[in-house]
Amino acid sequence: MRNNEMNHLAKRAVRDSFVKLAPREQAKNPVMLMVYLSAILTLALFVLSLFGITDSQPGFIISISAVLWLTVLFANFAEALAEGRGKAQADSLRAAKRDVPAHKLNEGLVAKGHHVDDPAEFFRLQADEVSSAVLKKKDLFYVAAGEQIPADGEIVMGAASVDESAITGESAPVIRESGGDRSAVTGGTTVLSDWLVVRVTADAGHSFLDQMIAMVESATRKKTPNEIALEILLVALTIVFLIVSVSLFAFSGFSANQEGIANPTTITSLVALFVCLAPTTIGALLSAIGIAGMSRLNRANVLAMSGRAVEAAGDVDVLLLDKTGTITLGNRQAAEFIPVDGAAEHDLADAAQLASLTDETPEGRSVVVLAKERFGIRGRELEGSGMVSIPFTAQTRMSGVDFEGHEIRKGAADAVKDYVESHGGTYSSECAAVVADVSRAGGTPLLVARDHRILGVIHLKDIVKQGIKENFADLRTMGIKTVMITGDNPMTAAAIAAEAGVDDFIAEATPETKLAAIRQYQAEGHMVAMTGDGTNDAPALAQADVAVAMNSGTQAAKEAGNMVDLDSSPTKLIDVVRIGKQLLMTRGSLTTFSIANDLAKYFAIVPALFVPLYPQLEALNIMHLTNPYTAIMAAIIYNALIIVALIPLALKGVKYREASSQSLLSRNLLVYGLGGIVLPFVAIKLLDMMLTALGVA
């Protein structure tokens, strides 16, 4: 983040820190509410002490009160700074949200548009221009190149290139078209070419952009179940220490009366003891940790529909991943030419390239490239060559060319076999064996024939993404099981699963099998995450504990998921799990540190308070602090400053590591547990020395 942006966030956070001093705001955090009330109490005690009504050390009382007020402000600052990031994101999103003219259509006009020569011109002339604010769900509108899409919707007619950078931050335009899984458009994006007719799917104020703004503004963030459970524990500990402090005051008063001396324990010092022993550090940072976790997810261009989903991602132990586009690059590529029946590999490559010159699919282009790389065969000059292209059809399942008196065909093994045999050719056992070997290896065999004679096999291979195997190994270390979902046959799926390093796979997957698999894992006690983009993925997404829908997908998929990936990157699911686990690790680490802190503060304050009554407690004064006043002041100052020191860690998060739960727990206890004990001893002693040097009585 740039320095000027950070300065702006800090200034707004300082201002908001004072705004949050309102009792209603403080009541949202029970632990810090007690510190807030303690600050008010000590301020009242100071006023009373000026009139000699209560404790007779007004300088000491006002010092404690000032530090307590700073403690509350520091906690407010941590939360406000975390919220500030979300507000900055919300401001940038609001800039993309504005009322624009919309070209409204009715059903009758759209029906007529299917039968005119120039639908775009027809819709442009017939549409009624209205404000985007008046569009309602199920309304139809027309949008052309250069215009902003006025509302969320599903394309019912047309195809266009759309700039979604206002939403995703990605400058490359995307293609949106009617039908299929790329038919959803988002209000605030811009059409770059062609035109669309869109049916509105969300009323004004409830659009996807409105949801994004609401979610990134931390004020709308709801506490997660684990966060609520931890807060209940912290409140319970706070109540326990409150009872202990009140009991100690009564006990010290009774003991002082028995000894016939004035009670050396004052209300102010016991308030300081209570604040120091209560889990104020984690209480002050707990909300900031949760807000920052959602902010990190937003910066990864993933919109979480609830804080519960972010936290659930940290508990996921089963990942269901689509093969295409997630584990593999998404397009099969020619990997090898395998000649059969005595044919030369060069002849096979030459015929395969000729058959693919007019094939604009990624597979066809990869055949041309492979022939060029292996044998230096370059594309022919087609102009005036007399070449006749034979396009692929679902009926023939072949394509090819007629060139210089030769018939060259390329296609599925059974289709080419039937074609060759119907013209008197043969399908040899050698060819059948190669086809079987390619299939067993997880590839797709394409046969190439010239003049009704099979020359050999093109091995089309799903290319596994680089580094994906290492990613899965890291997930396995974390105790997460990876399951590949594919529509391929079991033999092909097994080969790709082995190459990618996934733990299991589901072959010939249908929406029903995906849903059944998720339910089975959940019945076994697992937390399941999956990603999807199509309407057929919606049932499984709705069932999964963490469901990441692609922003480019259908409205049904986005409504079924509890997260939306604005980049539409299927591999983002792995990042989501890491961010969720980092959130849980950060919360656990700072909770451990906060509770460990109390031990050192106990040794600082308790001896200072009760040594006058019980000299034997001097043995607990292991830090050899100067006097009760410097001891209490040093502890309460440290209690405030440690909140400020930990704000960067709460916002950035504990560094994520791929390791087992046992290893993470051991490291957590060593670094944050032991560190939480040692650091306060050192810091409080240094503060005591500084206060003594400044002449604090």
Active centre residues (catalytic) = 322
Residue 514, annotated ligand binder? no
Q: Is 616 annotated as a binding residue?
A: no
One-letter amino acid at 559 equals E
Q: Binding site annotation covers 55?
A: no
CA nearest 313: which of 586, 548, 653?
548
Contacts of residues 428-436 at CB distance under 8 Å and 24 or more positions apart, as own/partner, are: 428/340, 428/341, 428/454, 430/340, 430/341, 431/340, 431/341, 431/456, 431/457, 434/338, 434/340
Going by C-alpha positions, the residue among 92, 91, 101, 167 that lies closest to residue 133 is 101
Q: The tokens of 686 are what?
A: 């240094």
Enter the tokens of residue 364. 């066809």
- Phi, psi for 505 (deg, rounded to 5): -150, 155
- Annotated binding residue at 399? yes
Paired tokens of 294:
């959602």
C-alpha 393/C-alpha 261 separation (Å) is 104
Contact 268, 220 (CB under 8 A): no
Instruction: Give the tokens for residue 384.
Output: 């005036």
Task: Let me know the angle formed at the C-alpha of 289 by 285 and 293, rounded to the nearest 5 degrees.
Answer: 170
Query: Is there a binding annotation on residue 392?
Result: yes
Number of C-alpha atoms within 13 angstroms, CB side, residue 37?
A: 11
How many CB atoms neighbour CB 216 within 10 A?
27
Strand partners, 456: 339, 448
Residue 396 assigned to a binding site:
yes
The closest alpha carbon to 439, from 464, 412, 421, 409, belongs to 412
Residue 202 CB contacts under 8 Å (≥ 6 apart), including other chains: 137, 151, 152, 153, 187, 208
CA separation for the pair 283, 294 (Å, rounded): 18
The reply, when asked if residue 395 is annotated as ligand binding, is: yes
555 known member of a binding site: no
Q: What tokens were used for 450?
A: 């010239």
> Which tokens in the block code for residue 173?
């335009």
**Annotated binding-site ranges:** 359, 363, 392-399, 410, 533, 537
**Annotated binding-site ranges for Mg(2+):** 533, 537
**Annotated binding-site ranges for ATP:** 359, 363, 392-399, 410
